Amino acid sequence: MKSKYAFSLIAVALLIASASLAQTGSKPSSPLPSAPGANDPPAVATNPNAKGIASINVEQAIFASNEGQRDMDTLSKKFEPKSNELKSQNDELEALKKKLSTATEDTKPELQRQIEVKQKALDRSAQDAREDFQTQQNEIGQRILQKMAPLIMKYANENGLGMILDTSQPWPQGLVLWAGPAMDITKPVVDAYNAQSGIAPPPPRSGGAKPGVPGASSRPGASSVKPASSTSKPASTTTPPTK
């Protein structure tokens, strides 16, 4: 996932902390965001003595949730016509290239001109489609994160966590060199979010193919989204991770 998701999570966490301070009457030493309004996430009191450390793949949590999978399936279906259009353009281009390999010297210049024109048109259309697809992916991720962040904070407080590391980006792109599976809380957070949202799991995809835009990932980031594994060893909802 792109780093702005992590920044958004930090922003939401700061907003929650600010609201908690306002509720307890404490005065921060430096200006903080104003108290949340009616549409902002609910405040979650923080535990100043919490010392536990855990890790979470925020990107995976967002897009492995039932809501994330549902919305990405909807987005992929929305882009099926564009994907088919790009495939058709590419097939035409490949046909011209094959024709060029057997063309006479007299016909080659015209074929090369056609190939260049179609190649530029295809590249431009594919780039526009990828950017549009990516923008809408990001909107899905941001919307879900706004609702998931308070739940992550609540989980941290209930389990005495003083720090949660985001492992969405592998090192060296991300800051976390390595985090053991026993510290990972991605699955319990996804399970809790699914229970909170009340959204049923999407039906299995037929054929295993994922529709979308050629060259665009199925979600923000470079790697494939993998649902939180049931074989991992996340911290339980009652026992905090390693302190």
pLDDT at 229 over 60: no
Three-state SS letters, 107-135? CHHHHHHHHHHHHHHHHHHHHHHHHHHHH
Amino acid identity of residue 210, one-letter, is K
> pLDDT of 26-85, one tens digit each?
433 333 333 344 445 455 556 677 789 999 999 999 999 999 999 999 999 999 999 999
The model's pTM is: 0.69
pLDDT at 213: 59
Question: How high is the mean pLDDT of the chain?
Answer: 77
The H or E element containing residue 169 is none
Domains assigned to the chain: 51-197 (3.30.910.20)
pLDDT at 6 over 50: no
Q: Looking at the DSSP assignment, which residues form a beta bridge with residue 54?
A: 164
CA atoms within 13 A on the CB side of 59: 24
> Largest Cα–Cα distance in the chain?
85
pLDDT at 126: 97
